[in-house]
């Protein structure tokens, strides 16, 4: 039997209530960062919004992982049995960024999944004023959608770990 005392459970939310509190804090964080993304999308300089989004997403993903106790460093503190459970739960929940070191390439890959919206946003920016508003709205929606999906994936992993947590 693995030594359960070697796992630092203080990093992971300890109850369903705490998970919901962390989820709400993270959703508010996603909302704030999505507004920042929309602001960058409204600037009529091609490419500036993409550079901004990569930086904002990177910080956001790391912040959300940290809030749920699911950064690579935090997961490394778990004993091997629970570490594997955390990674298995992340894969099962579709959380490709849970517990991973976030790189620029990984963020760009994630943004490419929203390719049609990103392409529309880039084209819309060339229409004076109305195009910038459309680009900002699309940027906000994409950022918020991806951010909230990551929050939900982290919450699901935390819930899964809560079910196996020793008392």
Domain chopping of the chain, boundaries: 9-116+135-164
Q: How far apart are CA 114 and CA 146, in angstroms?
A: 9
Residue 6, Cβ density class (10 Å: 0-12 exposed, 13-18 middle, ≥19 buried): exposed
Higher pLDDT: 92 or 78? It is 78
If you ran DSSP here, which 8-state letter would residue 47 be given? T
Q: How far apart are CA 4 and CA 161, in angstroms?
A: 13
Predicted pLDDT at 116: 45
| Cβ-Cβ contacts under 8 Å for 80 (sequence gap 6 or more) | 2
Q: What is the pLDDT of residues 51-86, one digit of tens each?
A: 788 888 889 988 998 999 888 888 788 777 777 777
The pTM (predicted TM-score) of the whole model is 0.73
The dihedral over CA atoms of 75, 80, 82, 84, expressed in degrees to the nearest 10, equals 80
Token pair 């919450």 is at which residue? 155
Q: Determine what percent of the chain is predicted with pLDDT higher than 90.
A: 18
Predicted pLDDT at 7: 47
Confidence of residue 143 (pLDDT cuts 50, 70, 90): confident
Strand (E) or helix (H) holding 145: helix 130-164
């Amino acid at each position: 039997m693995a030594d359960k005392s070697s796992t630092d459970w203080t990093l992971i939310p300890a109850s369903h209530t705490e998970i919901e509190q962390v989820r709400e804090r993270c959703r508010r964080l996603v909302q704030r960062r999505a507004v920042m993304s929309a602001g960058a999308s409204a600037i009529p300089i091609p490419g500036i919004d993409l550079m901004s989004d990569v930086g904002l997403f990177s910080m956001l993903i790391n912040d959300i992982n940290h809030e749920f106790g699911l950064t690579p460093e935090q997961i490394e503190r778990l004993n091997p049995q629970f570490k594997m459970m955390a990674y298995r739960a992340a894969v099962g929940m579709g959380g490709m960024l849970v517990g991973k070191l976030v790189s620029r390439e990984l963020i760009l890959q994630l943004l490419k999944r929203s390719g049609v919206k990103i392409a529309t946003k880039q084209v819309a920016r060339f229409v004076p004023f109305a195009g910038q508003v459309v680009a900002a709205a699309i940027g906000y929606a994409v950022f918020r959608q991806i951010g909230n999906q990551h929050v939900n994936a982290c919450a699901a992993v935390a819930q899964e770990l809560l079910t196996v947590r020793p008392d």
